[in-house]
Amino acid sequence: MNSMKRIRLVLHYQMGIALILGVTGGMLLGDSFDVWGNFINGIGNIFLHAINMIVIPLVFLSTALGISTMGDSKSMGRIATKTFGFFILTAIVAASLGVVITSVLRPGYGTHGCAMEVGEILNDAQQSSQMTLMDRIADIVPNNIFEAFSNGEILPTILFSILLGYFVIHINEERQRTVNATFEAFNDAIMKMTTAIIRFAPIGIFAIVMALVGKQTGSMAEMKSNLLSLAFFVIVVWIALIVMGGMVLPLMVGMMAHVSLFRHLKQIYSALMVAFSTSSSYSALPLIISDAKEKFGVSNNIASFTVPLGITFNKVGTIIYECVAVIFVAQAVGTELTSAQQVSLIGASIVTVLGAPSVPMAGVVVLAILLNAMGLPTDYIGMFMAIDILCDMPKTLLNAYSVSCSAIIVAHSEGEALHV
C-alpha cells in the first residue's frame, strides 16, 4: 500500500514537471513545429488512444456492476435521484455564475468579429438545432450496441449498461452472483490496465501540451487585432471557473460531506492533471473512479454509477464557458440581454450542453446553436476557435473536479463512512 502511495506521489510531481516542460517546449518550438510536430503529435496520440481504448469497457463494466450490486430497485432510484439532483443544481449555479460575472465585468465591449472558415461547424449547429426532443432521445437508444461501443458513443453505452445491470438484479441469485463475479473480474483487469497506462501519463502529457502550445504559438500570431478583448474574455472565463471550483463546489462538499478543498485536490491531483492536459474528462474517468473508492472510501456501487454519468452530464465548466461566450458576443454587438433573455440563456445552455452532438469541436457547435437561439451573429466564432486551448483545459479540469464532488456527496448522503 505504501509503495502504491509512493508511485502516486512520484506521478504527481512528474505530471507537474511534464506540464511545465511541455508549455516551455511548445513556446520554444515556434516555427520548428512543422518539422517536429508530427513526431510529437504521434507520441501524444499514442497516449490518448491508449486511454480511449479503455474508456468504453470501463464505462460499461463499472456502470453495469454498480447497478447490479445495488441489491434492489429502490436503492438505484434513490441514488439516481440524488445524482441527477446534484447535476441539475450545479448546472444552474454554473450558468448563473457565468451570466452574472460576464454582465458585471463586460469583456465584450469594443470587440470586432473575426471571420474564419466555420461553414462546416455552422452546418453541424444548424442540423443539431433542428433535431427534436424525440430525435435526441432516439439517438441515445443504441440501434446496435456493438456499433455504439466501436464508435465510442457514451450515452448509448451508459443506457445499455444501466438496463443490463437493472435486469441482472431480477434474475435468480445464483446466476446473479455469477454475472457479478464476471463483471468484477473484467473490471479488475481493466483497472490494472488503467494503472499501467497511467504510468506513462507524464510522457503523454508532455507531448500533448507541447504540441498544443506549439500549434497555438503560430495561430496566435494571426490574432493581433482584438487581442486585448480576447485576453479579457479568457480572464473572465478563468475567474468564473475559479469561483465555481474554488468557492462554490468546495463549499458544497464541505457542508454536505465534510471534505476540505485542500484534502480533496491533493487526493485527486493526478486525475485533474490528466483531465487538464488532455482536455478530456473521459481520459480521467478511470482515475476519478479509483480515487473515489480508494482515497475517499466511496462504495463501488456509487462510484461506478455517479462518475460515468457525471462525466457525460455534469459539465459545469463547459456551461460556464458557453454562457460567458454568448454574453461576450451580445456585448460586442451592443445588445443588452434582458433578464428574461438571460434566464432563457441559462436554461438553453444547460439543455444544449447536455445534448451536445458528438462532432469535432462540439463546444464550438454548442456556441453556434446558442448564438442562433439568442438571435446573435456567429461571426465571432472564429475568435473563440483561436483561443480554445486557453479555456478548454481549465473548464475540463473543473468538469472532472465536479464529477468527483458528486460521487463524494452522494456517498455521504447514503450514510457511507468516508475517509475525510
HEC letters along 143-188: CCHHHHHHHCCHHHHHHHHHHHHHHHCCCCHHHHHHHHHHHHHHHH
Does residue 285 contact residue 414 with C-beta atoms inside 8 Å?
A: no
- Looking from the CA of 393 toward its CB, the CA atoms found within 13 Å total 16
Amino acid, res. 44? G
* pLDDT tens digits for range 237-259: 999 999 999 999 999 999 999 99
Rounded Cα distance, 45 and 207, in Å: 9
Could you tell me which of 331, 326, 253 has the C-alpha nearest to residue 296? 253
49-76 confidence digits (pLDDT tens): 888 788 888 888 888 888 888 767 778 8
C-alpha span between 324 and 367 (Å, rounded): 10
Is 26 in contact with 207 (CB distance < 8 Å)? no
Half-sphere CA count of 22, side-chain side, radius 13 A: 30
CA distance 293 to 287: 10
DSSP structure string for 359-385: STTHHHHHHHHHHHHTT--STTHHHHH
Amino acid at 34: D
**Distance between CA 119 and CA 117 in Å, rounded?**
6
Can you tell me the mean pLDDT for 18-26? 83
Which amino acid appears at position 416 of this protein?
E
124, pLDDT greater than 70: no
- Read off φ and ψ for residue 223, nearest 5 degrees: -110, 40
pTM over 0.75: yes
Closest CA to 112 of 216, 219, 229, 221: 229
* SS3 state of residue 280: coil
Contacts of 169 (CB under 8 A, 6+ apart): 67, 68, 70, 71, 72, 73, 76, 176
276 residue type, one letter: F
Q: What is the mean pLDDT of the chain?
A: 82
Q: What is the pLDDT of residue 121?
A: 45
* Domain ranges (residues) in the chain: 2-413
Per-residue pLDDT, averaged over 396-403, amounts to 95
CB 393 within 8 Å of CB 234: no
Report whether pLDDT(168) > 80: yes
- Give the residue, 238 or 301, on which the prediction is more confident: 238
Long-range CB pairs of 279-283, under 8 A, 24+ apart, other chains included: 279/389, 279/392, 279/393, 279/396, 280/48, 280/51, 280/396, 281/311, 281/315, 281/396, 281/399, 281/400, 281/403, 282/51, 282/52, 282/55, 282/154, 282/311, 283/48, 283/51, 283/52, 283/55
Average the pLDDT over each of 279-293, 373-387, 403-417 and give the range with the smallest value: 373-387
Residue 281's contacts (CB-CB under 8 Å, 6 or more residues apart) are: 275, 311, 315, 396, 399, 400, 403
The whole-angstrom separation of Cα 410 and Cα 83 is 6
C-alpha cell at 237: 472565463
Q: Is the pLDDT of residue 323 over 90?
A: yes
Angle at CA 211, nearest 5°, toward 55 and 276? 45
Instruction: Using the predicted structure, report yes or no on whether residue 288 has a pLDDT greater than 90.
Output: yes
pLDDT (0 to 100) of residue 117: 44
What CA–CA distance (Å, rounded) separates 398 from 404? 10
Locate cell 461506478: which residue?
A: 304
Give the residue from 282, 268, 300 showing the smallest Cα distance to 53: 282
CATH number of the domain at 2-413, please? 1.10.3860.10
Encode pLDDT of 343-382 as tens digits: 999 998 998 887 664 444 567 778 877 888 888 887 777 6
